[in-house]
Amino acid sequence: MAVISARGLTKTFGEVKAVSELTFEVAEGRITGFLGPNGAGKTTTLRMLLGLIRPTSGTALIDGRPYRELTQPRRVVGAMLDADSFHPGRTGRNHLRVLAGTTGVPPARIDVVLDQVSLTRDAGRRVHGYSVGMRQRLGLASALLGDPAVLILDEPTNGLDPAGVAWLRTLLRNLASEGRTVLVSSHALAEVAATVDDVVIISGGQLQYSGPLSDLSHARTTLEDSFLRLTGSAS
């Protein structure tokens, strides 16, 4: 059974059909890139997977159940959608402490995830003084706090410097090799090509491709070539 599965997933906002009849699966133990041009419907899809908005029709399942029906959702799924949603007056460590308290995660996990994202040294600083990359790392730490089997990350490389991007690539690979399911949306196609096993590409809310990266990009065709062709965005 696929760990993440979308079946006929559709969302309309008034006149706008943001996501249309989307069907795809995301396998465990692999990194899957979720790609599409601006406005393609990626964030809307991720928000439906995470139970933040209700599909107009179709289903979004994690471990065979809608997110809202998972008994301990934070322990099953770690998500990073908006890395800028922290209380600015809290320190990084306090943010994680509050999150651990509300989600029933053992406090001992706080030091583990701070170390995992290399934020231990800055954990006592208030978030309003954090750089963009440090906020991204805190977002990742929050996603990892419940030691989840599934990670859903929206643009996690945003604001990371080149060393940070390389670090994230290794982190995601390690998480996948532990058997976790990793779904990552991104516009950074060269980085995606260097990181993922599978890709799901959408455009105009509709599925354009779902499958192994190796079927899309090879010696003469880059992921960017395929993306531009599949999404009709070639100029």
| Out of 1, 15, 38, 220, the residue judged to bind ligand ATP by CB under 6 A | 38
**Residue 188 lies near ligand ATP (rule: CB under 6 A):** no
Residues 75-114 that bind ligand ATP (CB under 6 A): none
Q: Does 55 bind ligand ATP (CB under 6 A)?
A: no
Q: Of the candidates 8, 13, 88, 221, which one interacts with ligand ATP according to CB under 6 A?
A: 13
Determine if 233 is a binding residue for ligand ATP (CB under 6 A): no
Residue 36 sits in the site that holds ligand ATP (CB under 6 A) = yes
- Residue 16 sits in the site that holds ligand ATP (CB under 6 A): yes
Residue 137 — φ and ψ, nearest 5°? -65, -40
| Binds ligand ATP by CB under 6 A, chosen from 8, 39, 101, 107 | 39
Write out the binding residues for ligand ATP, residues 113-152 only, by CB under 6 A: none
Least distance CB 53 / ligand ATP (angstroms): 8
The two structure tokens encoding residue 194: 């260097």
Among residues 4, 35, 41, 164, the one that binds ligand ATP under rule CB under 6 A: 41
Does 43 help bind ligand ATP (rule: CB under 6 A)?
A: yes
Kindly tell me which of 40 and 216 has the beta carbon lying closer to ligand ATP: 40
- Stretch of residues binding ligand ATP (CB under 6 A), selected from 34-42, 94-102, 134-142, 168-176: 34-42
**SS3 letters across the chain:** CCCEEEEEEEEEECCEEEEEEEEEEECCCCEEEEECCCCCCHHHHHHHHCCCCCCCEEEEEECCECHHHCCCHHHHEEEECCCCCCCCCCEHHHHHHHHHHHHCCCCHHHHHHHHHCCCHHHCCCEHHHCCHHHHHHHHHHHHHCCCCCEEEEECCCCCCCHHHHHHHHHHHHHHHHCCCEEEEECCCHHHHHHHCCEEEEEECCEEEEEEEHHHCCCCCCCHHHHHHHHCCCCC
Task: For the CB of residue 65, give the shortest distance to ligand ATP in the complex, in Å.
Answer: 23
**Position 143, amino acid:** A
* Count of residues in contact with ligand ATP, rule CB under 6 A: 11
* Interface contacts to ligand ATP, rule CB under 6 A: 13, 16, 18, 36, 38-44
